[in-house]
Structures are given as C-alpha cells and as structure tokens.
Amino acid sequence: MEYSPHDEALIEAKWQELVEECRKHKICKREDDWQFVKRAFFLAKEAHKGVRRRSGEPYIIHPIEVALIAVREIGLGKKSVVAALLHDVVEDTDYTVEDIARIFTPKIASMVDGLTKIAGVFDSHNSEQAEYFRKVLLTLSDDVRVIIIKIADRLHNMRTLGYMPLDKQIKITSETIYLFVPLAYRLGLHAIKSELEDLCMKYRFPKEYEQIRQKIEETEPERQHYIDRFMAPIKEVLDRNGFQYEMKARVKSIYSIWNKMRRKEIPFEEVYDLFAIRIVFKTLPFPSEKTQCWQVYSCVTDIYTPKPDRLRDWISIPKSNGYEALHSTVMGPDGIWVEVQVRTERMDDIAERGFAAHWKYKHASITQEEDGLDKWLRKVREALSGNAENAQEFLDNFKLSLYKTDVVVFTPKGEPQTLPYGATVLDFAYEIHTKIGHHAIGAKINHRIAPVTTRLNSGDQIEVITAENAHPKAEWLDAVVTSKARQAIQDYLKGERQNNIEYGMQLLSDRLAEHNVMLSGRVLRKLMPAYECKNKDELYSKIGAGIIQLDNIDKLLKENTSRKILKFWKLFMPGVSNTEADDIDLEDEALSLEEQAMEELSDHHSHESDFQIAECCEPIPGDNVVGFRDPKSGRIVVHKSTCDTLIRLAAQYGKNVIRDEIRWSQHKAVSYLVTLELYGLDRPGILLDLTKLVTTYFSINMRAIALQSHDGIFEGTLSLYVTDIDTLNRLLEDMRKIKGVEQVRRLMNT
C-alpha cells in the first residue's frame, strides 16, 4: 500500500524534526554519519510501508519518535538513533538480524536484536511478561543503550496509549509502573520516570489526574507570587558574589502529589511541598566543584534558616544512579518550609539525562574509577547470570536491585558500601562475599554485638562474625533486600532441599520396607496430612532434614486409615454407627468414599460465584475494582484498582486482567470486613462515643476494637462489617467529627 500525499508530508515533517535535533546535538559530524542515519530511515520507511498504528498514522512515525526521544530527551548518539529507527523492523517485517548486520554493522544488528520483542512458546509456569522482561534485561550484559532505547519506546507508547482498549491500557500501565519506572529511575532518567508515572495515572485514574491538574493550574498565580518573593533575596546575594546561574521552581509531578495525598490521606490543599527551588550554576576552574556548591548553599542559608535534619549531601556520596546535588529545606516567608536544590551544570545534565550524560562526563574525565552506576550495572549482570529457575523468580529478585533509597555503611577498614534502605547485616555480608554471607552468625555494628538480621543505618561500621558450621536458613529470605543476597540464599536452599528430598525419600522407603509396605501415592495421601505437609516434596524434605521422625509410622498408618474411614462413613452414611464404622477395614472403600465426597462437595459449590474478593486489598461495593483470573484456579479475584498486588499481577499476566465485566451486584446485602486506623487526643468517654456511633447510629457490627492510650494520645484499630463504600465514607466523615479524633483511615492488607 502506497503512502498518501498527506502521509508523505507527515513523515517528512517528522523526519526533518529528527534531522534538526541530530544537528543541534552534533550527532552526525561527518557526511558518512548522515548517510548511516538516512539509510536506517529509508529502510524503516520502506519496511513499514502500508502499516498504521491504532491512531491511524503511518507506523514509521513511531520509530522516528523513539529516535527523537533518544536524542532530544536522553542525549544518545548516532548508533542509538539508527537502532531506534530500526527497532521494530526485524519483528514486524521480513528483514532478519543477519540482514541488518549486512546492511549496517554487527553492533547495530546486536542492538536491534536486543530491542526485538520476544515471541514464542513460554514455560507454562512462567508469565509471558516475566520471561520477556528477563530476556530484554539480559541485554544489559552487552549494551545498556538497548534498555534506554526500550524505555524511550515505552515512553512513546505511553504517550499514545489513549488509542488502546481499556484492558490493554491496564496491562501496559501495570508493566510500566512495575518495571519501566524503576528502571528509568535507576538509570537516572528522572524526567522520563516522572512522565511515565503521570501517564500511568492519567489512564488508570483519569478523574483524580484531572482534578489535581486543574488545582495545580488554579493555584499557579498565587504560587508564582510566593516563589518570586522567596527567590528575590537569593538572586541578589548570588549576583553580588559573581555566580553565573539559573534559578527556577520545579512543581511536583501530578503522580507524586497524588501519592502523597493517598499515603497521608490529606487533601490537595494540605500538600505544602508542592514545589522546590533549583539553582543550577556554571562552575569556575577554581576552587573545586564541591566547594562551589557549598558556597551557593551558604548564600541561601545566610538568608533563610535551614532545617537541620533535612540536609541531603549527595555530592560527597552520590546516589547509586549517579545523582549528585545538595538538598536543603529552609524556612521561607510566611512560615513555609521550602526545599532548595543546588547543582552544577554537569550535575543537572546527569540528573535530567541520566546514564547517557553520566557516560559522557565519565569518558571526558581523567579518572576511570568505577562509580555508583557502574557498580549497579555490575550487580545487575551478576543477577542476570544467577541460577533462577524461572522468569518470575528472576524478576522478583531483579526488582530488588531497583531500590530508590540508599544507605552508606563501612567495612572495619573504613571502605564505604552502598546498600538499599532496609538492608541488614546479611545483605552487607553477601555484598562482601557469598562465603561470608553463608557462614554469618552475627556482627559487630559500631563495636556492639548484633544479630545478622539487624537493619543497617547510614554511617554504621560493620564487622561480620562467621562460623564454619553456620549455613543459610529459609527465614533469612525475609531478612534480606538485595537481589545478590536473596539469590545466593535461594541457590543454597535449593541445593540443600534437593539433597534432603532425595535422602528423605530413601529413608521413608527403607522404613516402609521394614513393614512390608511399598512407597506409593496411596501411602503418601495418608502421611502428608498426618505430618501437615502440603505435598510429597515437603514431606521428603522434612524427613531428610530430621524435622519429621518416622518412629511411629506403623501406628500412624493404621490409625490414619481407621480415622479416615470413620470420617467418611459418618459424613455420607449417617445411619452407620461408630461401632459399625470401626469394623470396616477396607481401605479401597474408604478411598472410594473420599473421592465421592470430593465430587459431592464440588457439585455443591458449582453454583457459587466464580468471583473471589482479594485478601490483599479487601475491596467493598463502591470501590473501583478490576478482576484478575487466577492462572491456576481459574477463579476471578477482584482487586481494588489501586492495589499494588494487582499492578504486579497485571504486569506479569496482562491477558488475565478483566475490567469490563466486573461490576458490583446490588441485590445481595453482604457485609465486608474493613479495618480502620485511628489516632487523636485521649479523653474520658471517647471509646464510648466511637462504639455508639458505629453500633447505634449506623447499626454496624464490630468485629474487634483495640485502642491504646499513652501521654494523652490514643491510637489503635477498629474492625467492622460494612455493605458498601458509601456507608463507610459516611461513617468516616462522622468519626472525624468526634471530639479528639485527629485522623481515621481505612487500612489495606499488604
């Protein structure tokens, strides 16, 4: 199909836009470079001829847009532009990776291959998305630019998401918030991270998005007036001291405002840190860059008093994604706290453009020492070479490496180690060496003995204590947050468990042989419930580990059979007495009755709804909900649309998301359990007022109430049954009117 004149004009305009950006950023320095990029454009244009996106525009517009993002918003070079233009050619057309290598270069072919979407048959136990993510991330071991272009590809797809059907929007936004947003953060692409978050919110929660957008717009004149007042004296001092700088206000993203409103359960009007002041200055040859930052900081704090506990020095120790800046919160006019950020032009470039800018300055530097971002990439490559048996396990472990907050701790010799917030002694031990982690029994933190599960704080100095006979335990998995530690523990436990399974199976077979009994499925069906094991591997593993002793197996087998027969005869043949049931000794008959019971129970439940309320978020009628069909049971689990668990599931099993068919039924007066968290100023009679409101005025049944009072403050929880969200909202509104109650909010299970 040929392009229409309108199509040709649209394509040419977009291509010229890319050409201008390449010239502006000096992407193509020689005529050969231009021919290289042009060849990619014309090949992609020809390959995608006649294909249109859901928006109706020619498909070639998409790869051009991705290339524009790579140049304009990230600052990637010529090879990345060519790879972006060709990123869908191999997947969607007859061209092969070998064709790309022949026409361009093997490096370009390798990048395009990494960018090609994964297709094919997946392991039935893995989600398609998890396997896709794993294979895409494997390209990190070769060329990180592939991941950056993939993020640019996702950004343009998110910008045009409005043309997609609702179920696709849920799947794509869940994938984006689950993995692509943390990846963008970790690679330092702050502007792209914020836009992806806002776009996810725009399509998932359009009403809330529009409300916040309008309020930001409505309050702009008043906010700008205050910002001008705040900045005026700082400008005067900076000018007097001869700094060349740019100072501007940065308004929080809509998503971050919404997140804060949800987290603190406050209205828009109570979000006081809506903006931050950013000072970006041009450095002089002398003194050092770091010293000049502190000089600018000093100019600010000479005018406004800083809040001592809100100074963040990411110049002395940059964030692990390469971010450098000084952040301080100062008391501005009218008693309002304002955050001020101080950066050099180099720091600002890295903060906005991320990895690409980081790499540019690194190569321009004399030193080639490994920095925070290099260390993270090395850790990612280590994680990618791990022994995760399935894609989901890999993805869960990998996400741990996308942490957002760091702590800096020290070895006994004073060497710094950067770990994620929440890291424990075990994380530190495995960071030093896997063998040290495996044999850790404790630590000295700042010269005081502490358990291996102790959480670490910035500035801690740690000496790990080891013992040769110590080994990883399953409960250690709950105490680590780094992917390296988790993977090492899982690998050890898998090997240990497999050994225990084999040993336990042999022990059980030998013991049964002593009683002339063969190991069989029938025997296992008796033993598993007796030993409270969910499956045979758990039974074998516990026997092999010595947790289960087999001294009473002879007695157990007999008792188990008798008890099971009695249970089923009494259930399904009520006329049979206990004595008669005790006389029945036919195991086959008992098993037959068990199967019959299961069939009857199945028939009994076959008329019940296939819907199940999610325990993670406990939605109630009126909540905005989304259905998710469980891959194993087939039942539809109903989640709140804001549920973190739903986001994770939708990212991994996007095709199982159900939206349109999920509606609350109004014909059943069913009560749903909710838990409220309360706190406020204690006074005599406040508990009576609360219970009276709930039980008398609202006629709501309470399941439990637990309030504690200390130093004139009360706090606690209240569990009750409600029929819908409207009733709950009216109750919450009236509770907040009770004297002394400062805050009431609905708790979600996590």
Q: How far is CA 225 from CA 167, 246, 333, 533, 692, in A?
A: 43, 18, 12, 68, 48
User: What count of other Cβ atoms lies within 10 Å of the Cβ of residue 737?
Assistant: 8
Residue 561 to residue 558: CA distance in whole angstroms: 5
- The predicted structure's pLDDT at residue 594: 40
Which of 241-255, 398-412, 646-660 is least confident?
Answer: 398-412
User: What count of other Cβ atoms lies within 10 Å of the Cβ of residue 205?
Assistant: 18
Whether 662 and 627 have beta carbons less than 8 Å apart is answered as: yes
Q: Average of pLDDT values for 4-22?
A: 92
Q: Which residue has the higher pLDDT, 211 or 262?
A: 211
Residue 335 to residue 331: CA distance in whole angstroms: 6
pLDDT at 189 over 70: yes
- The predicted structure's pLDDT at residue 607: 38
Structural domains of the chain, with CATH: 5-189 (1.10.3210.10), 213-353 (3.30.460.10), 374-492 (3.10.20.30), 515-605 (no CATH), 611-658 (no CATH), 672-747 (3.30.70.260)
DSSP label of 4: P
Minimal CA–CA distance to 44: which of 15, 19, 24, 68? 15
Strands 312-313 and 741-747: unpaired
Residue 213 to residue 678: CA distance in whole angstroms: 30
Q: Maximum CA pair distance of the chain?
A: 104
Q: What percent of the chain has pLDDT over 70?
A: 81
- The predicted structure's pLDDT at residue 98: 92
Could you report the per-residue pLDDT of 638-679, keeping only the tens digit for each? 888 888 888 878 877 777 888 665 667 654 556 788 889 998
pLDDT at 556 over 60: yes
Q: How far is CA 442 from CA 383, 438, 450, 487, in A?
A: 25, 12, 6, 20
Q: Which residue has the higher pLDDT, 558 or 306?
A: 306
pLDDT at 487 over 90: no
Determine the Cα angle at 555 with ends 553 and 561, to 5°. Answer: 100
What 3 state SS string does 579-624 have?
HHHHHCCCHHHHHHHHHHHHHHHHHHHCCCCCEEECCCCCCCCCCC
Residue with tokens 């453009």: 353
Question: Which three-class secondary structure state does DSSP give residue 510?
Answer: helix
Which of 174-178, 361-365, 522-526, 717-721 is least confident?
Answer: 361-365
- The predicted structure's pLDDT at residue 241: 93
Which helix (H) or strand (E) segment is 157 a member of? helix 145-159
pLDDT at 427 over 90: yes
719: which strand partners?
A: 675, 704
What 3 state SS string does 681-727 have?
ECCCCHHHHHHHHHHHHCCCCEEEEEEEEECCEEEEEEEEEECCHHH
pLDDT at 296 over 90: yes
Residue 490 — pLDDT band, cuts 50, 70, 90? confident
Residue 197 to residue 622: CA distance in whole angstroms: 25
Could you report the per-residue pLDDT of 688-721, keeping only the tens digit for each? 889 889 888 888 888 888 888 877 788 889 988 8
Q: Which residue has the higher pLDDT, 82 or 141?
A: 82
- The predicted structure's pLDDT at residue 518: 82
DSSP label of 56: S
Q: Average of pLDDT values for 598-615?
A: 52
Residue 527 to residue 557: CA distance in whole angstroms: 7
- The predicted structure's pLDDT at residue 364: 52
What 3 state SS string does 266-322 have?
CCHHHCCCCEEEEEEECCCCCCCHHHHHHHHHHHHHCCCCECHHHCEECCCCCCCCC
Residue 247 — pLDDT band, cuts 50, 70, 90? very high
Q: Average of pLDDT values for 533-541?
A: 83
Q: Average of pLDDT values for 292-313?
A: 92
For the chain, what is the radius of gyration of the CA atoms? 31
- The predicted structure's pLDDT at residue 659: 66
Question: Which three-class secondary structure state does DSSP give residue 677?
Answer: strand
pLDDT at 129 over 70: no
pLDDT at 424 over 90: yes
pLDDT at 230 over 50: yes
Q: What percent of the chain has pLDDT over 90?
A: 30
The verdict on whether omega for the bond into residue 287 sits within 30 degrees of 0, i.e. cis, is yes
- The predicted structure's pLDDT at residue 464: 93
pLDDT at 339 over 90: yes
- The predicted structure's pLDDT at residue 373: 59
DSSP label of 469: T
Residue with tokens 């009072």: 709
- The predicted structure's pLDDT at residue 578: 46
- The predicted structure's pLDDT at residue 666: 55
Question: Which three-class secondary structure state does DSSP give residue 408?
Answer: strand
What does the block give as tokens for 154? Answer: 């996702």
pLDDT at 439 over 70: yes
Residue 374 — pLDDT band, cuts 50, 70, 90? low
pLDDT at 121 over 60: no
Q: Average of pLDDT values for 309-336?
A: 87
- The predicted structure's pLDDT at residue 707: 84
Max avg pLDDT among 109-118, 431-440, 695-704: 431-440
- The predicted structure's pLDDT at residue 289: 92
| pTM greater than the 0.75 cutoff | no
Residue 297 — pLDDT band, cuts 50, 70, 90? very high
pLDDT at 76 over 80: yes
Work out the mean pLDDT of the chain and round it to a whole number: 80
- The predicted structure's pLDDT at residue 598: 36
Which sequence positions are flagged as catalytic? 91-92
Q: Average of pLDDT values for 448-470?
A: 89
Strands 611-613 and 636-640: parallel
Cβ neighbours for 589, distance < 8 A, ≥ 6 positions apart: 565
What does the block give as tokens for 528? Answer: 């598993």
Residue 606 — pLDDT band, cuts 50, 70, 90? very low
Whether 140 and 58 have beta carbons less than 8 Å apart is answered as: no
Q: Where are the beta strands (DSSP E) in 451-555?
A: 462-466
pLDDT at 361 over 70: no
User: What count of other Cβ atoms lies within 10 Å of the Cβ of residue 71?
Assistant: 23
